Amino acid sequence: MTLRFLAHASFQIITDSGIKIVIDPWLDQNPLAPIKSKDISADYIILSHAHADHCADAVKIADQKSTFIAVAELASYFQEAGHHTHAMQIGGAFDFEFGRVKLVSAQHGSMTADGKYGGLAAGIVLTIDNITIYHMGDTGIFGDLKLIGDMHKIDYLLIPIGGNYTMDPEDAALAASWIKPRFAIPMHYNSFPLIKQDPARFADLCSTHGIKVKIMQPGELITL
Ligand code: NI
Ligand code: MN
Per residue in 20-36, pLDDT tens? 999 999 999 999 999 99
Determine the distance separating the centroid of ligand 1 and the alpha carbon of 37, expressed in angstroms.
20
For the chain, give the mean pLDDT.
98
Cα of 42 vs centre of ligand 1, distance in Å, is 22
Which pLDDT score, from 0 to 100, does residue 133 have?
98
Chain-centroid distance, C-alpha 208: 25
Taking the CA of 49 as reference, the closest ligand is: 1
For 32-54, write each residue's pLDDT tens digit. 999 999 999 999 999 999 999 99
Per-residue buried b or exposed e for 22-43, using 16+ beta carbons within 10 Å of the residue's own CB: bbbbbbeebeebebbbeebebb
Tally of domains within the chain = 1
- Each residue's pLDDT tens digit, 103-154: 999 999 999 999 999 999 999 999 999 999 999 999 999 999 999 999 999 9
Q: Which ligand is nearest to the CA of 106?
A: 1
Give me the pLDDT at residue 46, please.
99
CATH number of the domain residue 158 falls in: 3.60.15.10
Alpha carbon of 49 to ligand 1 centroid (Å):
7
Residue 36 and residue 28 in contact, taking contact as beta carbons nearer than 8 Å: yes
Using CA atoms, how far apart are residues 98 and 221, in angstroms rounded to an integer? Answer: 19
pLDDT at position 144 is 98
Nearest 5°: the CA angle 117, 157, 67 is: 45
Q: Cβ atoms within 10 A of the Cβ of 139, count? A: 26
Residue 194 has a pLDDT of 97
| Ion ligand 2 neighbours, Cβ < 5 Å | 53, 138
Are 68 and 78 a contacting pair, CB within 8 Å? Answer: yes
Can you give the pLDDT at residue 38?
Answer: 97
- Indicate which ligand has the atom closest to the C-alpha of 188: 2
Per-residue pLDDT tens digits for 188-209: 999 999 999 999 999 999 999 9
Ligand nearest to the CA of 51: 1
Give the residue numbers spanning the domain of 153: 2-223
